[in-house]
């Protein structure tokens, strides 16, 4: 079921705003902390993925300058590729993303998506909560 906890969206926005990819927030908070602060109960398992360029990478690569072509992600295609990679090309993460997605105890998913024109952050949070408990 689709949950309604806003932690995933807040995290995706934080990642794009500050140009990073990872589980911890820039202020040091961990995923379960923000999930609880936004009304989540029980526990939450997080997958995190991103595509594109941080501002620092964009500038260092001289993107946007004449004759420099830096491809930016197309949101729909990027999300499809990131999801596919978590399911079928996740050996570098010891298949942890896939295991989170397929875990039978996860009854709801809360999804966060942020895009600033150069970087896309996609962040599903899976939990054993019911839809009502996720709000």
Judge contact between 4 and 135, C-beta under 8 A.
Answer: yes
pLDDT tens-digit map of 99-118 = 999 999 998 999 999 999 99
Q: What HEC string does 35-92 produce? A: HHHCCCCCCCEECCEEEECCHHHHHHCCCCCCCCCCCCCCHHHHHHHHHHHHHHCCHH
Residue 26 clears pLDDT 60, i.e. is over it? yes
- Please, which residues bridge with residue 125 across strands? 46, 110
Question: Would the pTM of this model clear 0.95, i.e. be above it?
Answer: no
pLDDT tens-digit map of 32-58 = 999 999 999 888 899 999 999 999 999
SS3 109: strand
Whole-number average pLDDT of the chain:
91
∠ Cα 73 113 19 (to 5°): 65
Q: What is the pLDDT of residue 128?
A: 84
Residue 28 burial (CB count, 10 A): 7
Q: What is the mean pLDDT of residues 3-32?
A: 93
Assign 130 a pLDDT band (cuts: 50, 70, 90). Answer: low
Assign 133 a pLDDT band (cuts: 50, 70, 90). Answer: very low
């Amino acid at each position: 079921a689709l949950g309604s906890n806003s932690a995933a969206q807040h995290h995706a926005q934080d990642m794009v705003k500050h140009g990073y990819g990872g589980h911890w927030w820039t202020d040091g908070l961990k995923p379960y902390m923000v999930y609880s602060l936004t009304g989540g109960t029980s526990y939450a398992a997080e997958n995190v993925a991103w595509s594109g360029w941080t501002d620092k990478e964009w500038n260092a690569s001289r993107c946007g300058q004449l004759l420099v072509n830096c491809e930016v992600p197309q949101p729909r295609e990027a999300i499809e590729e990131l999801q596919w990679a978590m399911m079928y090309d996740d050996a570098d993460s010891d298949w942890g993303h896939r295991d989170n997605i397929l875990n039978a105890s996860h009854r709801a998913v809360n999804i966060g998506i942020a895009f600033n024109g150069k970087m896309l952050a996609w962040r599903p949070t899976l939990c054993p909560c019911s839809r009502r408990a996720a709000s």
